[in-house]
Every structure is written in C-alpha cells, then in structure tokens.
Amino acid sequence: MNHPQVIELDHALARHHLSRLRNKNTAPAEFRQHIRSLSTLLAAEVTRQLPLEAVSVPTPIETTECQQLAGRIAAVPILRAGLGMVTPLTDLIPHLEVWHLGLYRDEATAKPVHYYDKLPADNPADVAIILDPMLATGGSASMAIEALKRWKVPRIYMLSIIAAPEGIRHVLDQYNDVTILTTAIDRCLNERKYIVPGLGDAGDRMFNT
C-alpha cells in the first residue's frame, strides 16, 4: 500500500519470524518469542522518528555534545494481545510510560467493545505508540486513537505485526495524521473479518487459550 503514513517493514528477519508466526503448528512459547522479535524490529523503526534534544555529556576525556530522546513517550498496548509487544519498547526506552486500553471484538458483530481505560484526564504524553499485533477491521485501532486524541496526545503511532488493507483504510480515513507501522500488509479480510492469510487469533495463540 503506497501511502506516506504507512510503513511496511522491509527486513529479512521480519520475513523469517513472520513465517514461523503464521505457522499453525508453532507452539505458544515460540509464538510469543516471534512476537517479541518482530516487535523489536518495529520498535527500532518507530523510535527512528522520535524527537531528540541536545545534551552535554562528560566523557572520561572531555565534555561532548550528544542527543537524547525528548519529551514523554507512552506505549499503549491494547489488551490482551498488545501485552506481548510491550517488552521491546521498555527495553529500548527505559523511561517509557505504559498505559493500558481494554478492547475486545464482539464476534457476532465484529465491532470493538471498550471495557478498560486508565488514561489520565490531562497532562498528555508527547508521543503515544499503540500496540496491537493485528490491525484487521480498524475498529479497535480507531477507538484507541480516539481515546488518545481525547487525552490530547499530539503525535500517535500504531504498531501492528500484520495489517489488512481494509483496517489501514478505516484508520487513515478518520485519522490521516497517525503513522501505521507493520511487518506485513496481508491480502484482505474474510467473511468473519479475520485477516487472510493472517495467523489466526493472536491473543489465543499467545496465551494458549
């Protein structure tokens, strides 16, 4: 998909881990590891764009000018599957804030249901990174973005392991200032609104349920 707000990661390691992730015979422990590996690659890509500020650092030899991350950065995993993507972000950004959103898909309607939200009412982060392995219909992603917009976060990113074109379009039609990063844009959604070829239900496979 050729869109300035969509980044599909082009990396040999991403293709390798994704092949294991898609395999229906991959056990939950291995599945979680591949989620972490792919999330690390996505985290490295999204952090490439984060704002920096100048800082003076005393080395053992002299004081030199360096750069460090500027402002407050928040990760917002969508429960429950988004939890599997948090660790790579906290490893890369030690001062990261982690705020949770509880959303699940009603299987009868394929619509998102909002059941948990602990975002503050004020004092928003400067950057928020939504974490959800699957961007399918885009309903949950849009609901999460809307919650962050109400919090008045000025810069929002969406990280997904795989995404459907329908979900990407749904999000960008409403929020064209959000950047979506994914390791793969799959073919389509099926009649049950699952991504094809996809990898099944990421939460069920991750948590062996």
User: Would you please indicate which residues are annotated as catalytic (active-site) residues?
Assistant: 105, 109, 201, 204
Cβ neighbours for 26, distance < 8 A, ≥ 6 positions apart:
20, 34, 205
Q: How many CB atoms lie within 10 A of CB 52?
A: 11
